[in-house]
Amino acid sequence: MAWRGLLWGVFLLLGAGAILLNAPGLFQHAYAWYYRGKVGSLPAYPGPLKVRLLVLAPHPDDEALAAGGLIQRVLAAGGAVYIAWMTLGDGFQWDAALLDRTLRPRPEDLRRLAIRRREEAKAAARTLGVPEDHLYFLGYPDRGLLHLFLENFYTPYRSPATGLDRVAYPGTLTPGAPYTGRAWEEDLGRVLDWVQPGLVLAPAPEDAHVDHRATAYLALRLLGERGWLDRLRFYVVHGGLEWPLPKGLHPGLYLEPPPRGRHLAWQRLDLTPEETRVKLEALEAHRSQMEILGRFMEAFVRKNELFAPALGLGGDR
pLDDT band at 290 (very low <50, low <70, confident <90, very high): very high
Instruction: Name the region of 174 (left: φ>0; alpha: ψ -120 to 50; beta: rest).
Output: beta
Q: Does 224 have pLDDT greater than 80?
A: yes
Is position 23 within any domain? no
Mean pLDDT for the chain overall: 90
The confidence score (pLDDT) of residue 23 equals 47
Residue 14 included in any domain = no
Predicted pLDDT of residue 269: 98
Per-residue pLDDT, 2: 57
Interval 146-153 mean pLDDT: 98
Q: How far apart are CA 111 and CA 294, in angstroms?
A: 22
User: Is residue 291 classed as helix, strand or coil in its secondary structure?
Assistant: helix
Specify whether the CB–CB gap between 89 and 60 falls below 8 A.
Answer: yes
Q: How far is CA 5 from CA 10, 15, 56, 301, 313, in A?
A: 9, 15, 62, 51, 55
In the prediction, which pLDDT does 84 show? 99
Question: Over the stretch 230-257, which tens digit does the pLDDT of each residue have?
Answer: 999 999 999 998 999 999 999 999 999 9
Interval 16-42: pLDDT, tens: 444 334 445 677 888 988 888 889 999
Write 36-40 long-range contacts (CB < 8 A, 24+). Answer: 36/253, 36/254, 36/256, 38/256, 39/254, 39/255, 39/256, 39/257, 39/268, 39/304, 40/254, 40/268
Residue 201: give its domain's CATH number: 3.40.50.10320
- CB neighbour class for 29 (10 Å; exposed up to 12, middle 13-18, buried from 19): middle
Mean pLDDT of the region 140-156: 98
pTM of the model: 0.89
The predicted pLDDT at position 28 comes to 86
Residue 64's alpha-carbon distances to 102, 126, 203, 313, in angstroms, are 29, 11, 13, 26
Q: Looking at the domain assignment, is residue 27 inside a domain?
A: no
Give residue-wise pLDDT tens across range 190-223.
Answer: 999 999 999 999 999 999 999 999 999 999 999 9
The tally of domains found in the chain comes to 1
Does any domain span residue 31?
Answer: no
86 within domain boundaries = yes
Give the C-alpha separation, 52 to 55, whole Å.
10
The C-alpha atoms of residue 57 and residue 59 are separated, in whole angstroms, by 5
With respect to residue 10, please indicate whether it lies within any of the assigned structural domains: no
Decide if 315 is inside a domain: no
Angle separating helix axes 107-128 and 287-298, nearest 10 degrees:
60
Domain that holds residue 264: 51-309
Assess if residue 228 is contained within a domain.
yes
Segment holding 197, helix H or strand E: none
